Amino acid sequence: MFDKHHETLSREELAQLQIERLQTTLNRVYRNVSFYRALFDREKIEIERLRRIDDLRHLPFTTKDDLRTAYPYGMFAVPLRDIVRIHATSGTTGKPVVVGYTRNDVRRWSELIARQLDSLGITDHDVIQIAFDYSLFTGGLGFHYGAELLGASVIPASSGRNVREQITIMKDYKATALITTPTHALSIASTLDEMGLHPEDLHTKTGVFGAEPWSENMRKEIEAKYGIDAYDIYGLTEITGPGVAFECEAKDGLHINEDFFYPEIIDPVTGKVLPDGEKGELVFTTLVKEGTPLIRYRTRDVTFLRRDICSCGRTTVKMNRLFGRTDDMLIIRGVNVFPSQIEHALIEIEGTDPHYLIIVDRGPSHLDEVELQVEVKKELFGDETKSLEALRARIENVMKSKLGIALKVKLVEPKTIERSIGKAKRVIDRRTL
């Protein structure tokens, strides 16, 4: 392990470390962040009365709207002269969220990335191709610094290159690990076939994928196409970027770096803290972040926590792979539907590609209507129309069975659905109240 001491702490040792770090963080935000000072005063929060880490549940939440209101630097807990790095979210649904990193933040962030790469057996002998975007997005530079700290050779390929260039780099530079989004990985795999290449022509043995929810079936699809081991990671710009949680070689849940981030699961409606094993919204409190520390930040990501012993020896709590997001969840005719459920079902259907788009609208009778556009294998469009019709009917039947709702399926040719450099866009909701 990269940091065996902190990755194998007993629950008692960890709880003591967490409360000590939490007290320091609470005092820092109260002194230096006007938002938290006003919030704590209004709620009559007495920091010194928080004696146990569980007492955190009595504090109010921080939301993305709070961060947007503070745009750009209102949540910074240090002077701008102490900030050495600035990242931000895309801002596609409003003002971007801006986060700052001190020199210590960048150093610790690199250590967290080194932890997770080390957990997958990646060493200083590996050549890592990073196909995340190098920009205000945290993925590219976050992994870059961590991989260099580990001593690996880094190829900053970014995601702006076309897929054929990515493949040429993978092949010629002998990349042994690929880091990108799962949908981008599948695009690369599909282009491998077009170029007449096979997984054996590459040196890649490990894939590290994140920045969007993906299913276990998509993992199997990627592993089959590349002949590699594919691992899930979790992070978000507001908390630090990648490095918050990671799968080890057991592929049995994602270890949360609890000495840096304290996790909770809440009921997204009531805000009540839920017990381990119960699905709800993930909430994080940063414990050592200096630039932009956050208290009980609501991520909108849906998962649950587990504290079973892992075969890798790490003692940190694990989160299940994401089911989706509370703000991505569609309520269709009273039924809750996550895009990941659709993806999971599609990959089991032969002839389809895991590229899809969900379009929701109101019908003439004001009822919800759903069109599911699905890319299918190119060769199927050369077959008789009845083959496509049979596939379409099968998908509709599977979705009715899995989701409990009827939807209209439209089969489209490969690469018809727009690809995204960052997170894949899965839903267009045209409904109006």
pLDDT surpasses 50 at 158: yes
Supply the mean pLDDT for the chain. 91
> What mean pLDDT is predicted for residues 132-143?
92
| Three-state helix/strand/coil letters over 214-280 | CCHHHHHHHHHHHCCEEEEEEEECCCCEEEEEEECCCCCCEEECCCCEEEEEECCCCCCECCCCCCE
- Cα(115)–Cα(330) distance, integer angstroms: 36
Number of domains present in the structure of the chain: 2
> What mean pLDDT is predicted for residues 136-140?
93
The residue segments making up the domain with residue 49 are: 1-326
CATH code: domain of residue 412:
3.30.300.30
Helix (H) or strand (E) holding 134: none
Contact 301, 279 (CB under 8 A): no
Beta bridge partners of 266: 273, 281
Question: Of 292, 326, 360, which closes a domain?
Answer: 326
Tell me, yes or no, whether 256 and 403 share the same domain: no
Q: What tokens were used for 115?
A: 């932890």
CATH code: domain of residue 264:
3.40.50.12780
Question: Of 296, 326, 356, which closes a domain?
Answer: 326
Segment 277-314, tens digit of pLDDT:
999 999 999 999 999 999 999 999 999 999 998 999 99
Segment 231-275, tens digit of pLDDT:
999 999 999 999 999 999 999 999 999 999 999 999 999 999 999
335 or 236: which leads in pLDDT: 236
- Give the count of alpha carbons within 13 A of 351, CB side only: 16
Tell me, yes or no, whether 335 and 319 share the same domain: no
> What mean pLDDT is predicted for residues 347-365?
81
DSSP letter (8 states) at residue 13 = H
What is the CA angle 353-357-135, rounded to 5?
90
Tell me, yes or no, whether 80 and 142 share the same domain: yes
Tell me, yes or no, whether 422 and 316 share the same domain: no
What pTM was estimated for this model as a whole?
A: 0.82
| Pairing mode, strands 280-286 and 261-266 | antiparallel
Tell me, yes or no, whether 73 and 110 share the same domain: yes
pLDDT surpasses 80 at 49: yes
Tell me, yes or no, whether 361 and 349 share the same domain: yes
pLDDT surpasses 80 at 366: no
> What mean pLDDT is predicted for residues 147-168?
93
Tell me, yes or no, whether 175 and 274 share the same domain: yes
- Cα(194)–Cα(20) distance, integer angstroms: 56
Tell me, yes or no, whether 316 and 354 share the same domain: no
- Among the residue ranges 169-183, 207-221, 407-421, the one predicted with the least confidence is 407-421
> What mean pLDDT is predicted for residues 3-15?
96
Question: Of 265, 293, 326, which closes a domain?
Answer: 326
- Cα(214)–Cα(180) distance, integer angstroms: 12
Q: How confident is the model at residue 433 (pLDDT cuts 50, 70, 90)?
A: very low
Segment 21-41, tens digit of pLDDT:
999 999 999 999 999 999 999
Dihedral, 241, 354, 281, 268 alpha carbons, nearest 10: 130
Tell me, yes or no, whether 342 and 316 share the same domain: no
DSSP letter (8 states) at residue 301 = E
Q: How confident is the model at residue 20 (pLDDT cuts 50, 70, 90)?
A: very high
Tell me, yes or no, whether 128 and 1 share the same domain: yes
- Cα(123)–Cα(151) distance, integer angstroms: 7
pLDDT surpasses 60 at 339: yes
